Amino acid sequence: MSARLLLVVLATLVTAACATAPTAPPPVAAPPTPAPVARVAPPPPEPVPAIFKSDDFIVVTAKAGDTAESLATQHLGAAAKSWMIEDYMGARAFTAGQRVIIPLKPWNPTGVEANGYQLVPILCYHNLGPQAKGRLLLGASQFEQQMRYLKAEGYRVISLGEFIEWMEGKRQLPKRSVVITFDDGYRAFREFASPLLKELGFTATLFVYTDYIGAGRNALAWDDLKTLAAEGFDVQAHSKTHGDLRRAKDETEAQHAQRLQVELAEPLKLFQRHLGRSIDRLAYPYGSADDDVVAKAKTVGYVAAFTVRRQGSPAFVQPLRVNRSQIYSEMSLEDFAKNLNVYHQEDLR
Amino acid sequence: MRAGRLVVVGLAFALSACATTEAPRTVAPEAPRVVTPPQPAGPPIRQTLAAPHLARAAELERDGFLRRALDEWKIARTIDPDSAAAREGQAKLTARIEGLVAERVTEARAALARASVAEARRRLLAALALDPGNRSIVAMLQNEAREGEFLIHTVRAGDTLAALAERYYGDRSRLEVIWETNQLPPNPRLVVGTTLKIPEIPGLPFARPRPVAPGPPAPGPTVVAPSRPDSAREEAPPEVNPLIAEAREALERNDYPVALGDLDKLLAGDPANREGLTLKKLALYRHGKNLFDQKNYDASYKTLTTLARLQSDYEDVGKLIPQTRGRAVEQHYQSGIRLYREEKLPQAIAEWKVVLDLDPDHANAKKNIDQAERLLKGLEQRKKK
């Protein structure tokens, strides 16, 4: 008790001394300075937080009520960068007087550490409807439950573009990053997914195969895709016909090469023509690809391509064999959560 | 004792508070130091604040968390740019990390040279943990040391590493790869029921185990089902082509026109799609029979002949076509007669012409057409008069 009193008095005295220094400008955003002479301890004011800064870090002393968001706004220029503080400190909110380390640049671009490495789960959905039907058509309420779970558990839904930049070493990602993708191009996405995703501040990538666009009764049309792209959803390729891209038994090498050319190059042209922009990401139909398919996809101009191997991907995954986890209608929320592993533990010392 | 420490901390806060007044955000590490006001005896305040980070850096370094230790040295220098201990600590550790990264990469190359991809990957990951932004290590992990496929082998009585190497690679000397991949102790005793990863060796034939005849599961606790680690291959995905799925659904509810529409769209893009072709034939067959039952013989005949063009011996289509044609002929012939009686001669003629299209040898149809045409001519001549 007496120790605390002593501390308050000392702090007050020193702060007062410094505040009266002739050349000192008034402190920025500081709590009211206590009266110059304080005999009796006033209600204890928080000491003005210290700021130390280097090229790599800022070290600040938190005020009461400081959060990763408030500190990110103040020191990193954007609340959206709060994940940097949150991940570095392992906390979202801070107590008055706590020293907070704010990294100014990516401190671990690949997320590989001495005790394991970061994984980014990429979820793969297909169709949605009022009721589940078959494995690949999820009920809207089940999907909503899963999305709200992501939000509540602090997962950060990032765009596929951000994931690719991570693979390329161009950015670091929040620790609990997740990507959402939808295959084929079902109309139900507009009805059941996009409003909810927007509400939650999530985004998604649609992999559509071009023969289906505007074809089936349940298919999205080019106009839908244009709208979705304008709303910030990423629209990418899923081949032309949705045929297995690997060479069939009765196919000659030349036939296969020709078929691959059509399957992989045609979508590029069509996207350019209908949406006025190029694409560079591919989801393999059925998730299947072998070395030939991968090589061809690369030649044609895809920078990232996606399978359906059920696991998250590290930053050093092969860019044309990125994993995705298909979400089935029979999965319970617990089963769903098993697809959200964001760290692979392994002693790498 | 406790009070004393608190006083120091309190002083630290208060003083650092005033540092902000002179050292706002833009201060670079080497910027002019804050003019510290006269202070009571004791360690300089920055030093005091940096001290825990110096201690933490040393501790992390001791425990092998070198990257995090390096951060702590940097944080200490952020707080106290003049700290010689922090500067030295950072410089030493940076050099040590550089040396270790080079060493790990060399080890990885050696492992690759003996085809031990799993071991190479472990070394490269260790290097990346030390230098997480190193793109050349990432490139190695993505290319020459990329993860291959592997099988899970459940150890049975009598298994040895050499025998497994012989079985999977046809080369007993490759046992080292299995040993390294599974991080086994020297001269390991393989325990029945445990599982081993058998990695693919690039450039070597990779013998799949002969399929074992399915039998009743072996009793007893010694046999453990092989656990599937994360990286094991996914089972064949159940994804289907959505147009095929839609066509199937339509077939289930006997909506043949919709099913055929979907399948034609599918086949337009992918004419050789086997599943699509199979479904199309099934849809045509059922549709043809269904139309026959509904006495829509024309459409039935058309549908079944389309099927016969795809596959002339499909089910009993060879028998169905003459049947449905016979009924269609009969229907049009009778319809012609009805129209004739109603004195709708052109319509009657049209019906019988359809009969002749279906059956060019239909004598009665020919006769009736002739008769109707003659009658029609007579009527027209009478009208002119």
- In chain B, domain spans: 1-20+41-147, 148-209, 242-384
Q: What's the mean pLDDT in B344-355?
A: 92
pLDDT digits (tens, 9 = 90+) for B271-296: 888 888 888 999 999 999 999 998 89
Q: In a mutagenesis test of the A interface, which of B134, B135, B241 is the best target, namely the one with the most A β-carbons within 10 Å?
A: B241
Residue B369 has pLDDT above 60, yes or no: yes
Q: Which CATH number fits domain A112-345: 3.40.640.10, 3.20.20.370, 2.70.98.10, 3.40.190.10?
A: 3.20.20.370
> What mean pLDDT value characterizes chain B?
80
Least CB–CB distance from B74: residue in A56, A211, A341:
A56
pLDDT band at residue A35 using 50, 70 and 90 as cut-offs: very low
Instruction: Please report the pLDDT score of residue B287 as a whole number.
Output: 93
Name the least confident of A6-15, A76-85, A157-166, B190-199. A6-15
Q: What angle do CA A158, A161, A166 make, to 5 degrees?
A: 80
**Chain A hits for B9, Cβ within 8 Å:** 7
Residue A15 has pLDDT above 80, yes or no: no
**Chain B hits for A110, Cβ within 8 Å:** 128, 132-133, 138
Residue B23 has pLDDT above 70, yes or no: no
Q: A302 is written with which tokens?
A: 């895809």
Residue A3 has pLDDT above 70, yes or no: no
Residues counted in chain A:
349
Percent of chain B with pLDDT over 70: 79
Instruction: Please report the pLDDT score of residue B202 as a whole number.
Output: 65
Q: What's the mean pLDDT in A240-253?
A: 93
User: Which of the given ranges, A36-45, A170-179, B1-10, B221-230, has the highest pLDDT on average?
Assistant: A170-179
Domains B1-20+41-147 and B242-384 in one fold = yes
Which pTM was predicted?
0.67
Phi, then psi, of B110 in degrees rounded to 5: -65, -40
Name the least confident of A82-96, A244-258, B26-40, B92-106. B26-40
CA A276 – CA A261 distance, rounded (Å): 21
User: Which of the given ranges, A215-219, B226-230, B238-242, has the highest pLDDT on average?
Assistant: A215-219
Contact across the interface for A349 and B273, Cβ inside 8 Å: no
Task: Please indicate if any CB of chain B lies within 8 Å of the CB of A136.
Answer: yes
Does domain B148-209 fall into CATH 3.40.50.720?
A: no
Complex confidence, ipTM = 0.83
DSSP classification of residue A115: T
Q: What's the mean pLDDT in B169-195?
A: 86
Residue B31 has pLDDT above 80, yes or no: no
Least CB–CB distance from A57: residue in B2, B19, B75:
B75
* Distance to chain A for B223, nearest Cα, Å: 26
Instruction: Please report the pLDDT score of residue A228 as a whole number.
Output: 97
Interface of B with A in 29-88 (CB under 8 A): 29, 37, 39, 46, 49, 64-68, 71, 74-75, 77-79, 81
Does domain B1-20+41-147 fall into CATH 3.40.50?
A: no
Name the least confident of A152-166, A183-197, B219-233, B252-266. B219-233
DSSP classification of residue A212: G
Each domain of chain A, given as residue ranges in start order, spans 1-47, 49-107, 112-345
pLDDT digits (tens, 9 = 90+) for B122-144: 999 999 999 999 999 999 999 99
- Listed in sequence order, the DSSP H helices in chain A are 2-19, 68-75, 82-89, 140-152, 160-167, 188, 194-200, 222-230, 253-275, 291-300, 333-337
Superfamily (CATH) of domain B242-384? Tetratricopeptide repeat domain (1.25.40.10)
Instruction: Please report the pLDDT score of residue B189 as a whole number.
Output: 87
Contact across the interface for A287 and B68, Cβ inside 8 Å: no
